[in-house]
């Protein structure tokens, strides 16, 4: 045999080595971009305001961010058991304002303990202990925050499908309101942003004239679906609330599967969608891992998924999780941080492309007043500047991520690179791949 000839195994190995070298070069380039982004943050007006407030108040900024933990630690050191109990217990349950008395009783009757959905551990510590339960707990292994115990799928579906004026769906219709021209423009801009990510993958075979296939999980009353259809996309929705799903089908004439993404994955063609959107959905579900695995089965290799969730590691959540605007049961069962959300996506076969935080659906005036009071700032304008910097540091309440479904070969390589890659978001800003956005 010729000494220069190569076996198929040699050729495959060389190709894999070349692919790994390219990925390593991408990681190095991404790290350089990260350093530039962090330098820009340090030079921002908001950062200078933070530094000034920190110097004037000494450790006040740290005290604000970790205030609940510091109060508990001091109480433990004094041995004041009553004070500890009062800090950890609420007088009333974290009951949703969108649950009628009948729905609430059914939910309570269905509660059962669950392990961590992300890592499977059953070693959670109580973060907040309302009376009666459920408690808010943090997994001792991976750090995921969630309600425990949780309701059954049947009780949760009944809660979301109830048409009682006091329950979720009628109020959802009220909150969502009408699709104004201004709102339609904003939703279309979000879709354009996702389309840019779809087109960025040069290795992905895609005909520019081919219609984008778009799936929205938790489509509610179909505003985003309607805007996507107006762009010429082929659209499908998934909605757990039967009244909402029926309204979209009847009034807008759009295809909507009434149920969960898991049930939709059993009837929709596999790997048939280019873009999947979950806007404030993942925190509502009982099994986030199963939801993302079902979504992965429906996305084409190289396709993208966008996920928006409340940021359990945000400044307002750290300051006062008890009264944080997103703390509500049974709507919000899980509270992801940048690290736990990135880990979940990696686990389900995705690679994080961009992660950022913004004010989003949060109350901006409430946030600015919180920052102003905590840092003793002179004006809300200064607080707004600090908020921009907090967003760059992934510390605002609306956590958003765009991720790409890996090809099968990429999935095999991902584990070998994930621990050293900036794409793996780590707590404490050890490694963060973020591109600041204002929307």
Asked if residue 393 belongs to a domain, the reply is yes
Beta strand pairing call for 234-239 and 255-258:
parallel
More confident residue, 230 or 36: 230
Q: What is the largest CA-CA distance in the chain?
A: 83
Per mean pLDDT, which of 35-39, 188-192, 434-438 is the most reliable? Answer: 188-192
Contact indicator for 393, 315 with CB cutoff of 8 Å: no
246, 243, 96: which is closest to 161 by C-alpha? Answer: 243
- Residue 177's pLDDT is 65
Please, how many CA atoms are within 13 Å of residue 201, restricted to the half-sphere of its CB? 22
Residue pLDDT, tens place only, 314-368: 988 888 888 888 888 888 999 999 999 999 999 999 999 999 999 988 889 989 9
Residue pLDDT, tens place only, 91-147: 344 556 556 677 778 888 899 999 999 999 998 998 887 766 788 999 999 999 999
Cis peptide before 190 (omega within 30 of 0): no
Task: Report CA torsion sign: 175, 177, 179, 183.
Answer: negative
pLDDT band at 275 (very low <50, low <70, confident <90, very high): very high
d(CA 345, CA 255): 27
For the cut 60, the answer to whether the pLDDT of residue 212 exceeds it is yes
Asked if residue 97 belongs to a domain, the reply is no
More confident residue, 278 or 135: 278
Put residue 305 in one of left, alpha, beta given phi > 0 → left and psi -120 to 50 → alpha. beta
Asked if residue 334 belongs to a domain, the reply is yes
Residue pLDDT, tens place only, 234-266: 999 999 988 889 999 999 999 999 999 999 999
Asked if residue 414 belongs to a domain, the reply is yes
- CATH code, domain with 355: 3.40.50.150
23, 11, 32: which is closest to 407 by C-alpha? Answer: 23
Asked if residue 254 belongs to a domain, the reply is yes
d(CA 164, CA 193): 37
Asked if residue 123 belongs to a domain, the reply is no
Backbone phi, then psi, for 113, in 5-degree steps? -70, 145
Average pLDDT, the chain: 78
| Mean local confidence (pLDDT), 15-32 | 80
Asked if residue 45 belongs to a domain, the reply is no
97: tokens are 């304002």
Q: Out of 90-104, 219-233, 324-338, 401-415, which region has the weakest mean confidence (pLDDT)? A: 90-104
Domain of 346, in residue numbers: 168-203+210-429
Contact indicator for 328, 94 with CB cutoff of 8 Å: yes
DSSP class per residue in 270-297: TT-EEEEEEES-GGG-S-HHHHHHHHHH
Asked if residue 21 belongs to a domain, the reply is no
Per the DSSP assignment, residues forming a β-bridge with 403 are 305, 352
User: Angle at CA 300, nearest 5°, toward 298 and 301?
Assistant: 125
Task: Report CA torsion sign: 50, 438, 329, 313.
Answer: negative
Number of domains forming the structure of the chain: 1
pTM of the model: 0.75
More confident residue, 215 or 168: 215
d(CA 283, CA 285): 6
d(CA 367, CA 377): 13
C-alpha distances in angstroms, 301 versus 198, 201, 304, 404?
A: 11, 11, 9, 8
d(CA 150, CA 248): 29
pLDDT band at 208 (very low <50, low <70, confident <90, very high): low
204-217 burial code (b ≥16 CB/10 A, e <16): bebeeeeebbbbbb
Residue found by looking up tokens 């943050």 in the block: 41
């Amino acid at each position: 045999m010729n000494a220069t000839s190569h076996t198929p195994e040699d050729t495959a190995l060389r190709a894999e080595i070349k692919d790994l070298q390219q990925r390593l070069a991408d990681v190095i380039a991404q790290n350089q971009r990260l350093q530039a982004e962090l330098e820009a943050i340090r030079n921002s007006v908001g950062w200078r305001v933070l530094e000034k407030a920190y110097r004037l108040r000494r450790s006040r900024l740290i005290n604000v961010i970790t205030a609940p933990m510091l109060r508990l630690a001091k109480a433990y050191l004094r041995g004041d058991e009553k004070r500890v109990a009062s800090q950890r217990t609420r007088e009333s349950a974290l009951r949703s304002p969108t649950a009628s008395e009948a729905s609430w009783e059914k939910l309570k009757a269905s509660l059962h303990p669950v392990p961590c959905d992300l890592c499977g551990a059953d070693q959670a510590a109580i973060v907040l202990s309302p009376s009666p339960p459920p408690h808010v707990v943090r997994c001792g292994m991976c750090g995921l925050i969630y309600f425990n115990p949780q309701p059954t799928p049947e009780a949760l579906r009944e809660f979301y499908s109830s048409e009682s004026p006091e329950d979720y769906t009628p109020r959802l219709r009220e909150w969502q309101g009408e699709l104004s021209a201004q709102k339609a423009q904003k939703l279309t801009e979000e879709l354009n942003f996702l389309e840019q990510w779809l087109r960025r993958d040069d290795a992905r075979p895609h005909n520019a004239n081919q219609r984008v296939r778009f799936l929205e999980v938790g489509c509610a009353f179909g505003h985003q679906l309607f805007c996507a259809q107006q762009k010429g996309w082929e659209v499908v929705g998934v909605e757990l609330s039967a009244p909402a799903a029926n309204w979209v089908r009847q009034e807008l004439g759009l295809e909507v599967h009434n149920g969960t993404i898991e049930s939709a994955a059993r009837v929709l063609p596999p790997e048939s969608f280019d873009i999947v959107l979950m806007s404030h959905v993942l925190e509502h579900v009982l099994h986030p891992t199963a939801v993302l695995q079902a979504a992965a089965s429906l996305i084409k290799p190289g396709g993208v998924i966008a996920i928006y969730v409340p940021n359990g590691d945000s400044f307002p959540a750290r300051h006062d999780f008890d009264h944080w605007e997103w703390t509500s049961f049974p709507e919000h069962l899980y509270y992801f941080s940048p690290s736990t959300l990135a880990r979940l996506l990696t686990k389900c076969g995705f690679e994080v492309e961009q992660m950022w935080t913004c004010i989003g659906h949060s109350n901006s005036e409430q946030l600015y007043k919180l920052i102003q009071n905590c840092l003793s700032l002179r004006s809300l304008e200064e607080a707004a500047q600090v908020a921009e910097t907090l967003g760059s540091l992934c510390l605002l309440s609306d956590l958003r991520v765009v991720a790409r479904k890996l090809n099968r070969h990429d999935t095999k390589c991902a584990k070998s690179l994930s621990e050293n890659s900036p794409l793996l978001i780590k707590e404490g800003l050890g490694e963060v791949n973020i591109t600041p956005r204002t929307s």
